[in-house]
Amino acid sequence: MNREVRVLFIRTANLSFIEKDLGLLRKEFIVKVVHYSGKRKSMDVVKGVVWADISFSWFAGSHAALAVLLSRVLRKRAIVVTGGYDVANEPSISYGIMRFPKSRDARIVKFALDHADLVLPFSDYAAEEVLGINQNTNLKALPLACDTEKFVPGEQKENLVLTVCMVVESNIARKGLKAFVESARHLPKAKFVLVGPHIDDAINYLKAIAPPNVEFTGYVPEDVLIRWYQRAKVYCQLSYQEGEGAGGALGEAMACECVPVVSEKAVALRETVGDCGFYVPYGDIDATVEAIKKALCSTSEGGREARGRMIGLFSMGKREKELSRVINEVLECHK
């Protein structure tokens, strides 16, 4: 523990995996938080960099670029965590800033990645995306973590297939929500549940194509979400693209002993699932139905293996140690 090191933690959203990192850093360092919401918060970043020994920016947006620039001027240090929309290039689903590499937003991302002291992609797949932008970026792939002490198995699994995400138009393709709903029609004896807030009119489309065995819960609090994980035998992540899997719903579901069925198109998910689940071609309903059938018929050992993988590779303790180590190394190398 190094309570003398001051870390400026910059975020643009209160996402669960970002909050996990904040909690871990607070255990090891003196932390000041800036919730960046545009230019009116830029002065908070300036003051924070002046105060801090090192900045820790979640995602490579304008907030990260500003922190990196100021850190270079003031001879401070800067770390950027990345791997999502900021570095993605998926034109077929209209996803990713790097679809337009000459745009202002893309140039901002490139500056942050080029000049940060260390970039922390949250998967090997994300690291490849970063290196595709700049091969000389100083990076270290560092997987996100799952709280396996909070997300634990329940008493009994049900004939229930679950997926969790925001219900928004862009996620119909990116998260494979259409395939999830259409698969339910072929498995009428199983219950399919989509948990997540309804952001726009996408829910109306999904409800229109859904058979009676599909339930849309909308937003649920975390304790209710955990109960859904504990009840579900199978968890589906049928995505076209993902930056990682361990730090989100897939990892949480596996920690609760759900058997995963995931799209092979979203290659980052393989890093989380390994050989503890089933892989299907993106959008292939027949293959998805067959994989879900096999997952529903699997023994409880399959769920235990999934949880064991999360404990062994993606624990909070492991990420805490790695974050502490890389921050101290960056500071030590630049004394």
Taking the domains of the chain in order of start, what are their residue ranges?
6-144+315-333, 158-313
Check whether 160 has a pLDDT greater than 70: yes
CA–CA separation, 113 vs 102, rounded Å? 15
Backbone dihedral region for residue 260 (phi beyond 0: left; psi -120 to 50: alpha; all else: beta): beta
Q: Which CATH number fits domain 6-144+315-333: 3.20.20.80, 3.20.20.70, 3.40.50.2000, 3.90.220.20?
A: 3.40.50.2000
Residue 25: both structure tokens together: 């850093």
Three-state DSSP at 159 gives strand
79 DSSP β-pair partners:
56, 118
User: What's the pLDDT score for residue 37?
Assistant: 84
- Type and span of the H or E element at 330: helix 316-333
Q: Label residues 50-73 b or e (16+ Cβ within 10 Å = b).
A: eebbbbbbbbbbbbbbbbbbbbee
The Cα 216–Cα 167 span in angstroms is: 9
Q: Which amino acid is at 176?
A: G
Contacts of residue 189, Cβ cutoff 8 Å, sequence gap at least 6: 159, 213
CATH architecture of 158-313: 3-Layer(aba) Sandwich (3.40)
Q: Is-same-fold flag (6-144+315-333; 158-313)?
A: yes
Q: Is the pTM of this model over 0.85?
A: yes
- Could you give the percent of the chain with pLDDT greater than 70? 99
Q: What is the pLDDT of residue 224?
A: 97
Model pLDDT for residues 167-218, shown as the tens digit of each residue: 999 999 999 999 999 999 999 999 999 999 999 999 999 999 999 999 999 9
Do residues 123 and 141 touch, judged by C-beta distance below 8 A? yes
